[in-house]
Structure 1
Amino acid sequence: MTRCEFAHDDGAYVLGALAPADRAAYERHLAGCAACRDAVAEIAVLPGLLGRLDPTTLEEFLPPPPEVSRVPDLIATARDRRRRERTRNRRRYALTALVAAGFALVLGVAGASALRPAPTPAPTTQAVRMVSMAPVAAKTPAVHAEIGLSGTKWGTEVTMHCGYDATAGYGKAYTFRLVARGPDDATEQIASWLAAPGDDVNLRGATRFTDAELVRLELLRADGTLVLSYDVR
């Protein structure tokens, strides 16, 4: 249980021996500390009882007072002792809190390291073998392309690199389409793009046709002119 830093101030407060600043601090503290309020309440009657004593009646029982009163020195000594004790307590509490925080940090780092999942190795990608598509129409713009195929359970992934050569006589941009042909002459468009002379295009697409179903890949212009083709089987 933490000891109250004002635990020794009740007597000095009741007897009026606190400095104004300490008295104000203690009164602010009383508002939130039930233990100190109870301590003050227990000795609150002491000044009244002392006030009822007749000094002349006590003279025969008390030794003669010293020539110089030591009360101010005693009060100053009590204050210094209280302040030193309060300083030692604060340092001890601060050191304890610092050590506890250090242990918590070490345990937290160790726990986080233990709970952190092992890094997932980066997936290794296999290089796709690229094959050239064959030209079909000689009078079409000078277009060349390479195709790479990767079979999956749901179809085929298609990787494509296409270049539109800057050739004299061809300065117009064309829209091109990559189409897959499957069984029974079924077709499916994989991608479309706009290319001008000098452009170089890299793209990836997919078709629902599997390795066993994919028959042919065709590169066409938007008007339907067949430019390049690749026979899968």
Structure 2
Amino acid sequence: MSTDQCQQIRTHLGMHALGRLEPAATVALQAHLDGCPDCRSELRELRGVARVLRQADPERVDDQPAGPPQALRTAVFTAVDQERRRNRSVRTAQLAAAAAVLIIALGGVFVVTTQQSTNSQPVAFTTQPAGVHAAASVENRNWGTSIALDVTGLPQGQRYAVWLERPDGSRMPAGSFVAGGEKKMSMQLAVGLPMSDAAALGISTPTDQSPLLRAPLHP
């Protein structure tokens, strides 16, 4: 029997177990039950519940049942509140990890206002044009490398690419940004390349692959 048919029939099983299903619907239900062992099994369980319900004495039901002890109420609500806080923390961590993965996949860049991590390592740009001031730090992460970058003095409106360079000279994109001239650009970038596999951090224009700024990552 198809799932759709079972779902329609099961809406009548409870009434049938209580003996309150209309005769016409009972005939259709019985025809289905003859060929559906799953629904027959469910009906047997419902009939057991119906027998217990018939033994209930309405006269013994208190209109105002006593509530649970205050200590139990406090323990339950405290546990629920702690679980909610834990779930919020887990969701926040999951969202942060998902954002990092997305940024890596897109080669993106985003501005952050959080305090710099104590595990970050500052790097020095040995190649740097006159009038341009840049500072950066890198941090090894489980998913790759996090880069904090501050740049001032690049021509306003020009787009620049940020990358990590491997020992063989190949590059892994970390994102791009549009320069703000004398306005300080502060960025946090992410790249899926471990620091141990990177030799240098660099910046170039999309049309010229020559490093405009370059900082070795290892002495």
Q: Report the TM-score, using the length of structure 1 for normalisation.
A: 0.44
Indicate the structure (1 or 2) with the bigger Cα radius of gyration: 1
